[in-house]
Structure 1
Amino acid sequence: MLTGRDENRTGLIQFHFHLLSTLPEIQLLIFLAFLLMYLLSLCGNTTIALTVCTDRSLHTPMYVFLANLAVLEICYSSVIATISLTGCGTQMFFFVFVGGSDFCAYLVAGSLVLGFLLSLQLTILIFRLPFCSTKEIDHFFCDIPAVLRLACTNTHVHQAALLIVSVTVLTIPFLLICLSYVFIVAVILQIRSAAGRRRTFSTCSSHLTVVLLQYSCCSFIYLQTSSSYSPEQGWVVSVVYTFVTPVLNPLIYSMRNKELKDSLTVADSGGPTG
């Protein structure tokens, strides 16, 4: 049984992650899969960000937001590391900060400020908790539900704070996105060309697929009660929104865009841009 003195020695805690497998062959396979997804995300999103920055013809609000999304996706995947108590708190802060900044845009500056405030308050609230002697996080990064399971005290207030932040960052933006697609569909239906409608619907359906994938996975993790949280399901689902969607976003949001593809073609051929 832990004493109060033991419970409050959080400053000396060194966290470590639970192994996803004890078999060396499986560990290598998991490492290579994560590395491949990270490198694909890094290359794709870096290419988009640099292309938008260097081509003056792409200096419009839409492409600025695409470049902003690309940079955020790079940060989102790169922040998964560390693992002292301070490092875990830093990782959690930047993970919530970048994730919370991913949803809105006058919005780039406004979303960054909101993401900073939400992540700072939530991180401070969680890391004032006393942690037990068990320092093994049953996850591959410092995700909030996994860290809360290590606390040696009642976490109902923290769970409520997490729910409020999750609703702010997930539910409200998702509803706004769905509303925007209602207007988009209404405009598409006014296109006279059947081929034009099919092409536009194809692009929008790809966008919506990634949106549904991202928000459904995040909602599954952060909008459920702590009693129903499963560590095994948690890390599997987390792979989708930390690695899979950052890989898909460059392909779906940008690479299918004609102007961006033309700019990339000119850059590859060594011609002038802008």
Structure 2
Amino acid sequence: MDLYYTAVTPGATIVKVRGRIITTNKGVSLTDFTDVKALFEADGNLYQTEAQNPYWGFRDPFPFRDAKSGKLYMLFEGNVAGARGTHIVGPAETGEVPPGYENVGNSRYQTGCVGIAEADDDNGDSWTLLPPLVTAVGVNDQTERPHFVFQDGKYYLFTISHKFTYGDGLTGPDGVYGFVSDEIFGPYIPLNGSALILGNPPFQPFQTYSHYVMPNGLVTSFIDSVPVDKTTTGMDYRIGGTEAPTVKIKIKGDRTFVVNEYDYGYIPPMVDVILKA
């Protein structure tokens, strides 16, 4: 089994470690996850490096095999390459806007993107960086935990983001956002017109975070913060630190619908599991 993750300090490098999962009548154990192999890091040409921006992001690997081509790819969160503050946000980036909204302020600092790399071998030991699938220059600075759901021959791309990482004059809730395409390399269009799938309510803006849309439509997340009485703690919130209620969504075409809510941390098997006596 290969485990992919982001190694940090110094820098940020996508790495993997190979080990074994051993199951017995007494339980499950992990072994041999000791030999860490560095795979790739931001290059400064496609993806922003720490030298270009001390607030850059390069993390959250999501390896997958494309059902159409059989090739091994990996999604990750990144920022579009270039020195911090040098990105141009003009008519090509903003599109049609009403009169008086042409001033984009400091949105040139928002450079989030969903990156992708292609494996050079079937084992995933060597990778080549490819141009981002979705970019958010002038819109948002973080497109975290990108992942796919494959359904009806389409590519449903999901990512999570923050209210505080939006550019000047823009806003959106902490939550999960989604896009869809008929082809792996796009073009991608936002689901529901706005890309918002699930967002925190205004009265609890940090209610949940780190959403993950599973292939069966269940969406898991964690409780981010819980409002408390400031008079006793000196703070108006405490860290949740546990699984939030699971939500069920239905994906149909370029729309999503909330259809059910389950208990905290409800994550059932996605395939039938047969236990032998």
TM-score when normalising by structure 1: 0.23
Bigger strand fraction: 2
Q: Higher relative CO (CA 8 A, sep ≥ 6), structure 1 or 2? A: 1
Bigger helix fraction: 1
TM-score when normalising by structure 2: 0.22
